[in-house]
Structures are given as C-alpha cells and as structure tokens.
Amino acid sequence: MSQSSSTGSFDVASLVEDVNLRRVGQYALVVFFLGFFLVPLETGIMTAIKTNESVARSLPFAPPVGEGFTLGNIQFALEQLSGSFFNSLVMSIPATIGSVLFGSMAAYGLTMVNWRAQMGVLMLFVVGVFVPYQAVLVPLARFWNNIFPLARMIEPMVASIPFFQGYHAELVPLVITHIAYGIPICTILFRSYYQSLPNSLVEAGKIDGASITKIYRRIILPISKPMFGVVFIYQFTQIYNEFLFAFTLVTGSDAPAAPVTLVLPAIGASTSGIDFGIRMSAAFLAAIPTLILYVAFAEQFAKGLRTEA
Amino acid sequence: MGQIQLTDLTKRFGDTVAVDDLSLDIADEEFLVLVGPSGCGKSTTLRMLAGLETATSGDIYIGGDHMNYRVPQNRDIAMVFQDYALYPHMTVRQNIRFGLEEEEGYTSAERDERVVEVAETLGIAELLDRKPDELSGGQQQRVALGRAIVRDPEVFLMDEPLSNLDAKLRAEMRTELQNLQDQLAVTTVYVTHNQTEAMTMADRIAVMDDGELQQVASPFECYHEPNNLFVAEFIGEPMINLVRGTRSETTFVGEHFSYPLDEGVMEAVGDREDLVLGIRPEDIEVVDAATDDTAADAALGDHELRMDVTVVEPHGDQNVLHLSHPDQPSADDALQAVTEGMHLVTRGDRVTVTIPPDKIHVFDAETGTAVHNRRHDQEADLTQLEQ
C-alpha cells in the first residue's frame, strides 16, 4: 500500500531542491560566455552576406532581409584571394610537414638515443624557441636577397613545374625559414611525448637488431601518430597565419607570390572607404583551411592531448 | 655454445657503483637466476650482458667470444623485458617477425613459417593477427617469449618477466618457462627479486646485494649453507630466525634467551664475541607443554625454551607461529616457528620450544659471514628424498 502511494504522487519539491543559487550562477555564466564568443562570429557572418546599404542601415548582428541579402561579397573576395590561397598552401604545407618531421627526428635523437653533449644541443633548441622574430628580420632579408639569393637561382626550375609560375620561387626561402624556425618548438613538444614512452621499446628494438633509423621509422614514428596530429595542427596554424616573415621576404600585398595574410589587409579597403561586407567575407574565407584541418584531425588531436597528459 | 663468463665486471654511474667487481661463470644450457633486492645491481648486470649498458671495466664473454664492444644484435642473445615491450602498433605476427628481419639466411617465406612455428610452440597461433592491447597479461607474456625464441639465440636474458602477472598465472608460467628452457636447451640468465622464483626455477642462484655477489650456489646450498647473513635472510619464506647476542664462555646469550653451544660449533666460533644465531622456522620443534608451569620449567632441557604463542598464521599445510618470551610479552617476536598444518596451536598457548643444536647457523655479527652452518649429511638427506 505504502509503495503505491509513493509512486503515484509526483514530487514537485524534488525539482526545486536541485535549483540553488550556485547552479543558477553557473548556467548564467555559461550562457554569458557563449554569447560573448558567438555574437561577434555571428555578426561577422551576417555582415559578409549583406549589401553595403543593408550593413549601413541594420543592426550589425541582425540577419539580412529581402533585398539586403547578397553573395556578391563572398564571390568578390574569393576572386581576390584565390591566387594567394594557392601561395599560402604551397608555403605552409611543406613548411609544416618539414618542421614537424624534423622536430620529431630531433626529439627522438635527443631523448631516446644516448650520446655526449646531448644536453648542450637540447639547450640550443630551447634557446631557439625564444629568439624573437623582430631580431632576425633584417639579417634574414639580407641573407635571402644578397648573400644567398635562392629564389632567383631556382626561378626557371620552378617555372617549369605544371601549375607553378616563376614567382612561386620566392616562397621557397620562406618555406625554409619557417622550417628552421618551427623545428625548436616541435622538438620540445615531441620530446615531452617521447619521454613518456617506455624506454624498453627502443631497447627491445636494439636487441632485435634494428638500427637507430629503423627503430625510428618502424617503431617510434608509428607510435607517435597522435602527437603528430597535435603538432601538425599547431604548426600549420602558426605558419599559415604568420605575417612578419612573409612580409619581409615576399614584400607587399601586390606581389604575385603574396600569401593570404599579406593580401587580406588590403581587400575591401580603398580611398572611398572600407567595404565591411567584402572584408568579413575575405576574413572567413581565409580562416577556412585551418578550420578544415581542425575538423580533419580532431580525433588525433584529442588523442594526442590525452596521451600527453 | 652459450657459456657465459663475466670477469671483474664493474659498472659505475657517476659516483655510485651499481655492480662491483663481479666474476661469474655460467655453464652452457644452465638456468641461472640473479636474485637480490631492488637496486642491488642485478638488472644492470643483465643489461651489460645484453649490451644495453657498457661496462665501466671488466670483460664479458659469451661462447668464448669477447662481447664488450659488440652491439646487442651480434651477441646472439634475446631478452624478455619486465613490461614485455611489445610494439603496440604491430600485430603479434609483426611483433615476432620484427626480430627476424635483420637475421640473415632467411627468405621472406621462411620467416613467415618460422613465426607460425614459434607461435604454435607457445600456443598463441590463433592470436597472430591481434594487437598487443587485445591480449591478456599472460598472452602478452607469451608473445614476448616468442619474440625472444624466434631468433634461436644462444642465451636468453629475462628481466623480471613474471612480475606483472597475478599469482596463479605466475606459478603456471614458472613451470612453462622451465619446460621451455629445457626443451630449447638455451643458457638462461633470469633476474628477479622474488626468492620463490629463484628457488623454484634455478639450476644455480646468484645472490647479489649492493652491487656485490654474495653467493653462487644451487638453491639447496643457498638455503642450507648460506655464505652470510644476507643470503640467509633473503632466501627462505618465512624468514630465518636471527638472534643477536654475545658469547660468554661456551654459551650464546641473546636478548630473550641463552643457548649453550656444543663443541663443534665452538671450534668454528673461535674467540669471536658478537654472534648471530640463526635457525630456520621449520627446524624449531614445538611441543605443547604441560599445564603446570613450574614443573615444565624444571624439566626444561639445555636446548629447550618456554615461549608464548602470540600469533598463529594457518596456511593449511603448515602453521606459522609467532613466539615471544613469557617474561617480555610486549617485546617483538623472539622467534617464528613452522609446525605441521594438523598440529593445532591456539594463540596464547604456552609451549615448549626445542632448538636442535645440529640445525643452527652461527654468523659473525660484525662481518656477517657464516662461521657455522647446520650440519647435514648430504648423502643421507638425498637418499631419504629418493625413497
């Protein structure tokens, strides 16, 4: 009897019990920050698909109505950016692969192989992380322009590759610079991961008769796949978004080899004023490759962060 | 041939001496167990044998060839690691095959065949296409063994290979390992900190402490004729009873009791003053005493003591008794004794304990070396065992 009565009545008080000030505060905070991050994004997207007139007349975050909607901004921005997209990818993909691969190799050599003066070399890598960009700009420009003008030397060679023009040779020094600058941080990231791996794997490899390079290629490289995901995303974002080196070595937004970051500030700006619709469209288009990368590597990324922790 | 010779082997890490002037001969096809507490240098010794550490000084010979400067691959050895060190991204088949890839004289098909052959010997043929993380601990252990066997080495090196298994599986693998070693007739050096493993598996045990070799002998000898206090304490479960004390004339005077030493022992003791008396728990004879204390006390023989039972640990086949002196009940256990499982003693009983004079060990308290070990007529003991 007592059982039926307890299940029959719906206990309203238990609902209220869960609601207390602390919980309310927590949810309020969550909602606030959700808005804080999402509203600017939404405003940007809305501006990108509005006509100039609509941008001027409606609230920034309001969606376009009727005549105010256009895809013209995006189309225009895409035309302006298409060449520099290609440049950016030609630059950042090899530079990322190079620095990540070399970083992993260096970390392997510095963590899992024993040799003298290891600590000294590692210190050089650590110092390399902290060398400020500004300090090397002038020497860098002089080196690639006067001392070792690699771009001019390989220009005819690059021009003969299908889909490439002679001016793409200007990106090669940039790629090499990015690789050199990326190796230290990649090495440090990989090192912390390799230190967490059991040493017995390498030792077992040695007993099995594998050489140092074979152990790297067949054992360490496959095991560090999740870490590659993390470092690859990090390094690609860094290089793709980088401005200073590109500006120094390629010079200016009107250069044919200019990557996206150089072209972006010039789009939609003219003597008659700033076209916000085109600017926003260009900004979103420029961000797409990094977004794609995050989505594509999301699983590896999460796995890598987990294993590192 | 897989005989191993270590001469004056020393390994220093900075200022610490991990292995100190170790000399050891291991016969072909022998199963030698290196045993000692953690940090005693046993693993370092094994790793020097494997070529994973370089010796600071001394020489290593395997099969008569000087090994110091050879890489592990060229030493004709195989090693099983404590954590198995299976390559996590490879299948069992690839794991076992990996070591074979650098061996000369095989065609690709022969390598595949050999892997299957080894897997069948170990009973893991149906697991060949699984990854290590899909295997149980015992199966991983077998794969690690397979990886060692596949190259058909002259010497197996094993670094605490059973320590990650649960007790039941460990006992199983122990016998299996022994059978396997017998079958393959490969010299084996096995490192463990577990004295039971050492006792049950070894042809000979090498006991190490603090980088130094304490004794190399058969399990029987290590147990009954320990070289020193360390070996006596380390080998045997429950531990040997050790009583510190001094000699006055021909009597040993300990904290809880005094014990007359007979002529043979006195001869060995000479004029040493500080002694340690040792007696294995199972050699102590426990008799239920008469209820009348005074009468029992009066009837005590030379080698008999009256003691209280403070704790009884039944093991089924045997009971371990913790005994303390009646006059100092709060003091630590004076002795531990092992009685038969059917011999029921309850906590709080007062018993008469006999320490047979022919079963005692006497050690020099200062140096720890054994001055007298229990008398046993080896041949008589052995014939008894054979009956």
| B387 pLDDT above the threshold of 60 | no
**Listed ranges A173-187, B94-108, B356-370; the one with the highest mean pLDDT:** A173-187
Nearest to A204 among B73, B85, B89 (CB): B85
State the average pLDDT over residues B220-249.
91
What is d(CA A248, CA A255) in angstroms, rounded to the nearest whole number?
A: 12
Residues of A in contact with B99 (CB under 8 A): 207-209
Task: Give the closest-approach CA distance of B182 to chain A in angstroms.
Answer: 23
Nearest to A208 among B51, B89, B99 (CB): B99
Per-residue pLDDT tens for B150-198?
988 999 999 999 988 888 889 989 999 999 999 999 999 999 999 999 9
Confidence of residue A18 (pLDDT cuts 50, 70, 90): low
**Superfamily, domain B4-232:** P-loop containing nucleotide triphosphate hydrolases (3.40.50.300)
CB pairs A-B closer than 8 Å: 56
User: B147 and A204 in contact by Cβ < 8 A?
Assistant: yes
Residue B94 touches chain A, beta carbons under 8 Å? no
CA A67 to chain centre: 37
Residues B156, B86: Cα–Cα separation, whole Å: 17
Which pLDDT belongs to residue B296? 60
To the nearest whole angstrom, how far is the Cα of A209 from the nearest Cα of chain B? 4
Mutate to test the interface with B, among A202, A208, A300 (most CBs of B within 10 A): A208
The domain at A72-308 falls in which architecture?
Answer: Orthogonal Bundle (1.10)
Work out the burial of residue A170: count CB atoms within 10 Å of its CB; fewer than 13 is exposed, 13-18 middle, 19 or more buried. buried
| CATH no. for B238-386 | 2.40.50.140
Contact residues for B260 (Cβ-Cβ < 8 A; gap 6+): B250, B251, B252, B302, B303
The rounded mean pLDDT for chain B is 88
Question: Of the candidates B52, B78, B103, which has its C-beta nearest A203's C-beta?
Answer: B52
Instruction: Copy the structure tokens of residue A244.
Output: 């200073």
Q: How confident is the model at residue B329 (pLDDT cuts 50, 70, 90)?
A: low
pLDDT above 90 coverage of chain B, percent: 54
Q: Could you give the residue range(s) of every CATH 2.40.50.140 domain in chain B?
A: 238-386
Asked if the model's pLDDT at residue A14 lies above 50, the reply is: yes
In tens, the pLDDT along A68-113 reads: 888 888 999 999 898 899 999 999 999 999 999 999 999 999 998 8
Q: Which residue in B52, B87, B101 has the most chain A C-beta atoms within 10 A of its own C-beta, making it the best mutation to test that interface?
A: B87
Chain A interface, Cβ < 8 Å to B = 198, 200-201, 203-210, 218-219, 222-223, 225
Contacting residues for B145 by C-beta, under 8 A, at least 6 apart: B80, B122, B161, B177, B180
Listed ranges B99-113, B209-223, B306-320, B339-353; the one with the highest mean pLDDT: B209-223
Q: How far apart are the first and last CA of chain B?
A: 36
The residue-averaged pLDDT of B81-96 equals 93
Residue A288 neighbours by CB under 8 Å, 6+ apart = none
Structure confidence at residue A308 (pLDDT):
54
Q: Which of B240, B273, B206 is nearest to B45 (CA)?
A: B206
| pLDDT tens, position by position, B3-25 | 999 999 999 998 999 999 999 99
Q: Please report the pLDDT score of residue B293 as a whole number.
A: 63
Domain with CATH 3.40.50.300 in chain B: 4-232
Domain ranges (residues) in chain A? 2-68, 72-308
